Structure 1
């Protein structure tokens, strides 16, 4: 009886220890925290290397993104152009899923197409936001409307009002 209790206690202790060792690997696969998402976003947008994003850096990225959405080059983005970009991403994502089991060039090509098709950040991508940003009500977004929306978004995110967005702006409760 004493021997079986010792065995059970030992097995339980071993199980707890193994669970503790495997926990970090499970944690690595978990959803990123808001801070981690903020750090990744800042890293993508920060062109000066100071771990902060200025309005000018954000406006430059949004301007580049605007051009990628404006497929007909008329200086405006229609709902159809946004939907076409989304559809291209859906198709690239499906091709990536189909190619994941494969190896080599085909898989790398599918991943490259997925990255290329990924819709960039742009104010007005959602239908309600589109209508709100379309100040002149013509059914299309021009560069000035998108720039104004970007500035409003920046000011909302810059919670401490220092003119820069950093990780603290994503975690600070106001």
Structure 2
């Protein structure tokens, strides 16, 4: 009887500890909105003032536009957009397969994944592409992308101070 009680007690303790640890493991995988905002600001903030101005966002979008415009014609076609998304999917699949392999192969897959990672450009999804394509010609011009990114900036700048910062991501605005 004593052994059963001991085993039952140890099992209950193990279940309790596992239950307490599970939320902390889950929290690592999912970023909070504040963490996502902080990461976005760090990525776009070129002058290190912890704020993103419209000029900083537009400069980032211009660089991203060039990455998507693979044929250099000044337009991003739906095919170029799809090719970029597919290249990322393929690189992500290769990375998933290479995670458990040796260092060189894993490092090469990670480098390919980082290289193929799609940059942020308005119109990445097919429905958004049609919405951003203001003239309806089936491709996005630099002006269309700049216009869409300005609208996106204004939506993110919740307090209307002309910059995106941590205050724009609080729920009190």
8 A Cα contact 1:42 1:52, kept in partner: yes
Per the TM alignment, residue 128 of structure 1 is displaced from its structure 2 partner at its CA by 1.7
1:112 aligned onto 2:72: no
Once residues 46 and 138 of structure 1 are traced to their aligned partners in structure 2, the CA distance between those partners, rounded to angstroms, is: 33
Per the TM alignment, residue 103 of structure 1 is displaced from its structure 2 partner at its CA by 2.1
1:63 aligned onto 2:62: yes
Aligned to 2:135: 136
What TM-score comes out, normalization by structure 1 length? 0.86
Runs of 4+ with deviation above 2 angstroms: 10-30, 171-174
Per the TM alignment, residue 130 of structure 1 is displaced from its structure 2 partner at its CA by 1.2
Once residues 16 and 168 of structure 1 are traced to their aligned partners in structure 2, the CA distance between those partners, rounded to angstroms, is: 41
The alignment yields a C-alpha RMSD, in angstroms, of 2.5
8 A Cα contact 1:53 1:165, kept in partner: yes
Can you give the 5+ residue segments of structure 2 that lack an aligned partner in the other structure?
none
What does 1:24-173 correspond to in 2, within 5 Å? 25-26=24-25, 28-173=27-172
Count of residue pairs brought into register by the alignment: 172
Once residues 165 and 43 of structure 1 are traced to their aligned partners in structure 2, the CA distance between those partners, rounded to angstroms, is: 11
Summarize the Cα distance change of 1:156–1:96 in structure 2 as closer, same or farther, 3 Å threshold: same
